[in-house]
Structure 1
Amino acid sequence: MAQVQVQREPVLPNIGLNEKVLSETAFVLNTASADEVILALRTKNYAYNVVDPRASMFCHLFNTQFKEQEIVADKIARHIRGLGYKVPNLSEKLRFARIDVPKEGEWPDCNTMVTNLLNNHETIIQHLCKDRERIKDLGVKAVEDLILEVERCHMQWAWELRTHIQTQTGGTGGKAQH
């Protein structure tokens, strides 16, 4: 991941956090925001492009997750703005992102779509765990709570996707094969 600078407003909020803590917190949230937006775009793109006898079911699942991801991305963006920083534009998000970005011409089959999304959710969960610890060390409880909330959303979405992989493989539990 290329190092990206967070862009702040001329006047920072007076909320009991020094500029260094605000900047580090904004960086963590900008990174989480990038992951959310890129995953949401991938999810929506998959909803548009799923080709499978079960397309209607997967289109509904992907669209539902996309709508929920939009809400999460909006919450993160509002926290970034509340800290006095700008939310990255799409070009910056591509540099902030920690998940893989879809390749040009990538049109996977339905099962691969589900696996790709699951892998992205699991990667985000791992990063959010580290982010939450970093924010906890900075002492920003409201953002720590937000990250935990986002982490729980990704656990739910991953579970929804994992059940489809387990159904396809006939599994009754355990980790999906990636």
Structure 2
Amino acid sequence: MPIDIGITDTDREKIAAGLARLLADTYTLYLKTHNYHWNVTGPMFQTLHLMFEAQYIELATAVDLIAERIRALGAHAPASYRAFAELSSIPEEGDSPDATTMIERLVHGQESVVRTARSLFPLIEQAADAPSADLLTQRMQVHEKTAWMLRSLLQ
């Protein structure tokens, strides 16, 4: 059935493509955060282990919300490591960093997600896509707050 929600097909496709990048960034950050949860060591182990767990659980919920918005717009949500690697602005690392480097990398990852979300606003506002704008606003609030909390650990 055709989708008739007051957003043109072209705009829905562009918004979905942007949300696919946001989904890829969010999933990549989820994987990185979960990895750090498992592998963190050092004097702040307990604090960081629990903090990273709370963060990856929140990210796991977020990927579902973003993917479901993509589907509501009539597009297929990317769902493979290959697709996420191609779409994500967050680099994958193959090393085992110390706790401070983990925190720094997570700050960069959180900020990357915010930049991706922010970049979608002009199109979403032009298309009057309030549900996508609401989703982006919520995601940006979470990621900006998380980046601030992580940065605070480095001072």
With CA pairs under 8 Å and 6+ residues apart, which has the higher RCO, 1 or 2? Answer: 2
Residue matched to 1:45: 35
> Contact between 1:47 and 1:62, CA under 8 Å: does it hold in 2?
yes
Counterpart of 1:141 (choices 101, 115, 130) is: 130
| Structure 1, unpaired ranges of 5+ | 1-10, 167-178
How far apart are 1:12 and its partner, in Å?
4.4
SS of the residue aligned with 1:88? coil
Alignment of 1:72-111 (within 5 A): 72-90=62-80, 91-102=82-93, 104=94, 106-111=95-100
Amino acid across the alignment from 2:114 = I
Query: How many residues are paired up?
Result: 154
Alignment of 1:101-140 (within 5 A): 101-102=92-93, 104=94, 106-140=95-129
Residue matched to 1:68: 58
SS of the residue aligned with 2:120? helix
Residue matched to 1:8: none
1:33 aligns with 2:23: yes
Amino acid across the alignment from 1:157 = T
> Contact between 1:12 and 1:83, CA under 8 Å: does it hold in 2?
no
SS of the residue aligned with 2:142? helix
SS of the residue aligned with 1:99? coil
Amino acid across the alignment from 1:160 = M
> Contact between 2:20 and 2:77, CA under 8 Å: does it hold in 1?
yes
Which is worse superposed, 81-90 or 34-43?
Answer: 81-90
1:18 aligns with 2:8: yes
Larger Rg: 1
Amino acid across the alignment from 2:30 = A
Amino acid across the alignment from 1:57 = T
CA distance in 2, matches of 1:12, 1:77: 20
TM-score normalized by the length of structure 1: 0.82
Identity %: 27
TM-score normalized by the length of structure 2: 0.94
How far apart are 1:24 and its partner, in Å?
0.4
Aligned Cα root-mean-square deviation (Å): 1.2
| Structure 2, unpaired ranges of 5+ | none
Q: Which runs of 4+ in 1 moved over 3 A?
A: none
